[in-house]
Chains A and B, each alone.
Chain A
Amino acid sequence: MNVNDAILDPYLAGALLAAFSVLWIFLGWWWGRGQDALDDFMLAGRRVGLALGTATAMATWVTASTTMVAPQFAYELGVWGMIGYSLGSVGLILFAPMAARIRRLMPAGYTSGDFIRLRYGVWAWRVFLVISLVYSMGWLVSLAMAGGVLIHALSGLPYHLGMSVILGICVIYTLLGGLRAVIGTDFIQTVIIITGIVLLGFLTISRVGFEDMHATLAQERPELLNLLMPASLMFLFNNLLFGMGEIFHSNVWWSRAFAFGEGVGFKAYLLAGLFWTPIPIAAGFVALAAPVIGLNVPRSDMVGPMIAANLLGTAGAVLVFVVVFSALASSLDSLLAATSDLILEDIYRKHLNPGASQQHLRRAGSVVIVGLGLLTWLVSLPNIDTLGKILHFTGSFVASTIWPVAAGLYWRKTNPTGALLGMVAGSVLGLVVYEMIGWYTAALVGAVVSMVLTVGTTLAAPRDFDWQDLQEEHKA
């Protein structure tokens, strides 16, 4: 990479990294004590309350994307890039009623894959698993890369070092603590993230000022202020649908719906969505200060940390480091845990070893987490593109699951073949437009195609379904 003018001393950056690593691993061990049962490790005993529930939903959704990609999109696409990113909260808000219904329909459920298998059959389930795994890997890789980009942008330390350390730490404490540790650390990370981003936004306004920002942008980068900039208009609902697809299909959110106590899911997701909405706006706004202060941005996904470091000096660099590390850790651990659940339940137990005991699955879960971490590390090493583009590569896949999931939960007559075709065709056509038109169109096309096929086949050939078929007991 090409930052040769970093602000944070490499030794200080290394010390911060080491200190947070020790703290997070200790918390993982502390919260993970005594979790031998699979329900404890995978679903925190299904007893998570409202405060922790809201915090974990919000902290998990405040990813490196929020703290680094929101500024990236503001820097590339201007005002709509910033506001459009905050539309990602719509997915969380709409998942609130869905979480309550999921808990009611499947009180003993484990994964989103369980739902698709029971609702639509084996082949739709297998397609869904492929989509889930593609998305999980895309998100894991973007998070791991964000760690490397962050450390490099702030301190000039090599990308590979930062990426490897942050990924390694998250694997270790997820391994030790399971979902209970993930949720517990989420609460701390939420407090750090909200405080840090609000402080950064306030300091940026006070140091730079709206008038200077507007004047500079109008002169040097006029399209960033243009509310009719075509790419940003196309980005708006693409990002909203991408967020919906991410949340509706991903086991990260379904595992929480199963883990929350009775009646908690609806309120937790609703509150998390509402509290999350202003965060990407604050984070994105910071990026627009770059041209005003004459800051050079070698790569657009570095703009957030670089601005903070430049405006606020070493203290700002440390603040950004703490906030982004917290955001990264809070999402990496959730994703590792949820993806390992999916692999364990839907691939290992259902396809390879149906007779596996709970203790065996508990041990296998650890192996899966380590394997995922290693694979993520290998794919992240080449650092192929910006974080936003890598994440949105998965857009067509996840958005194609919106209607199959939602219609499957609420419509008794949804056609299973239509749902399967919707996921396949939506993913493929979304990828085509990703290459031919732009990354900011893939999710939208994936969602449209999937909706048309799901609704069309259901109207033409409705198929009855008994909701009781979703009640599946797992062996103790």
Chain B
Amino acid sequence: MRIFATTFFAVALTLPLAAQSDSAPVWAGELELNSSGGYYSLNWAAAPGSDVTSFYLEEAASPDFAGADRDERRQVYDGEDSGTTISGKADGTYYYRVHGRKDDGSRTPWSKTLGVTVRHHSLPRAFAFLITGALVFLATAVMILGGYRRERSKS
């Protein structure tokens, strides 16, 4: 009984510490993001009490990282920063996960999976804005340059 109690308390006291230092990094913000411009920022932090010194960020086309083979996963970042900005993405959904690394080379578990859906504006909408902007600019330029010419011809 005494041995059981001693073992129990030893495990109970050390388990939180072990769990804290091995906890996965956490994402800052939502786990589902949307982007209409093909760019977005991902930010993460080490778990409280963690002694992580660097992070490894991975991207895949499916949320099931465990099922995807190596070729379908892409290293996005490996270093000390706790954020990154990704840009130039085409339409689609991209999944990310991050784990921390300590000085002794050991690593934490993977974070929760974060998904980003990129859906660009339609081309008709884009051209509507482009053409409208061009017309407003031309009208303004014509007014100013016309006024300038009238002034010069008077003087």
Contact surface of A with B, Cβ cutoff 8 Å: 2-5, 75-78, 90, 94, 97-98, 100-101, 217, 220-225, 228-231, 233-234, 236-238, 240-241, 244, 296-300, 303, 402-403, 406-407, 409-411, 437-438, 440-441, 444, 447-448, 451
CB distance from A242 to the nearest CB of B (A): 10
Could you name 15 residue pairs across A and B whose Cβ atoms are closer than 8 Å?
A: A2-B82, A4-B82, A75-B39, A77-B39, A101-B148, A230-B120, A233-B129, A234-B125, A237-B130, A238-B133, A296-B79, A296-B84, A297-B84, A410-B147, A447-B133
CB distance from A253 to the nearest CB of B (A): 14
* Partner-contacting stretch, out of B11-19, B62-70, B87-95: B87-95
B80 interfacial by beta-carbon distance below 8 Å? yes
B37 interfacial by beta-carbon distance below 8 Å? yes
Q: A97-B148, A437-B121 are in contact. List 6 more A-B contacts (CB 8 A).
A: A75-B85, A230-B120, A241-B137, A296-B81, A406-B144, A410-B146
Interface size on B, residues (CB 8 A): 43
B103 interfacial by beta-carbon distance below 8 Å? no
Quick check: A409 and B147 within 8 Å, CB to CB? Answer: yes
CB distance from A400 to the nearest CB of B (A): 12
B5 interfacial by beta-carbon distance below 8 Å? no
Give Cα A238–Cα B130 distance, bound, in whole angstroms: 8
Give Cα A237–Cα B134 distance, bound, in whole angstroms: 6
Give Cα A9–Cα B85 distance, bound, in whole angstroms: 24
Most chain A CB atoms below 10 A, which of B83, B123, B140: B140
Residues on B with C-beta less than 8 A from A223 are: 38, 87-90, 120
B41 interfacial by beta-carbon distance below 8 Å? yes
B141 interfacial by beta-carbon distance below 8 Å? yes
Interface string of B37-80 (1 = CB under 8 A from A): 11101010000000000000000000000000000000001011
Give Cα A153–Cα B51 distance, bound, in whole angstroms: 24
Quick check: A298 and B136 within 8 Å, CB to CB? Answer: no
Quick check: B89 and A221 within 8 Å, CB to CB? Answer: yes
Interface members, chain B 2-44 (any A CB < 8 Å):
36-39, 41, 43
Give the residue of B123, B134, B140 whose beta carbon is less than 8 angstroms from that of A230. Answer: B123
Number of A-B contacts (CB under 8 A): 148
Give the residue of A299, A300, A406, A444 whose beta carbon is less than 8 angstroms from that of B132. Answer: A444
Give Cα A438–Cα B39 distance, bound, in whole angstroms: 13
Give Cα A438–Cα B21 distance, bound, in whole angstroms: 41
Give Cα A320–Cα B126 distance, bound, in whole angstroms: 35
Residues on B with C-beta less than 8 A from A77 are: 37, 39
B122 interfacial by beta-carbon distance below 8 Å? yes
Give Cα A211–Cα B37 distance, bound, in whole angstroms: 25
B104 interfacial by beta-carbon distance below 8 Å? no
Residues on A with C-beta less than 8 A from B1 are: none
With CB as the reference atom, state the residue of chain B lying closest to A97. Answer: B148
Q: Given A4-B81, A299-B85, A409-B147, do A448 and B36 touch, yes or no (CB 8 Å)?
A: no
Quick check: B136 and A297 within 8 Å, CB to CB? Answer: no
Quick check: A299 and B121 within 8 Å, CB to CB? Answer: no
Q: Given A231-B37, A240-B137, do A5 and B88 touch, yes or no (CB 8 Å)?
A: no
Quick check: B141 and A300 within 8 Å, CB to CB? Answer: no
CB distance from B45 to the nearest CB of A (A): 8
Quick check: A75 and B147 within 8 Å, CB to CB? Answer: no
Interface string of B123-155 (1 = CB under 8 A from A): 101110110111011011101111110010000
Quick check: A298 and B38 within 8 Å, CB to CB? Answer: no
Q: Given A4-B82, A97-B148, A296-B77, do A229 and B38 touch, yes or no (CB 8 Å)?
A: yes
Give Cα A231–Cα B37 distance, bound, in whole angstroms: 5
CB distance from B72 to the nearest CB of A (A): 15
Give Cα A448–Cα B126 distance, bound, in whole angstroms: 16
Quick check: B133 and A240 within 8 Å, CB to CB? Answer: yes
Give the residue of A100, A217, A224, A451 whose beta carbon is less than 8 angstroms from that of B136. Answer: A451
Q: Given A223-B90, A407-B143, do A236 and B130 touch, yes or no (CB 8 Å)?
A: yes
Quick check: A2 and B43 within 8 Å, CB to CB? Answer: yes
With CB as the reference atom, state the residue of chain B lying closest to A238. Answer: B133
Give Cα A444–Cα B130 distance, bound, in whole angstroms: 9
Give Cα A224–Cα B77 distance, bound, in whole angstroms: 19
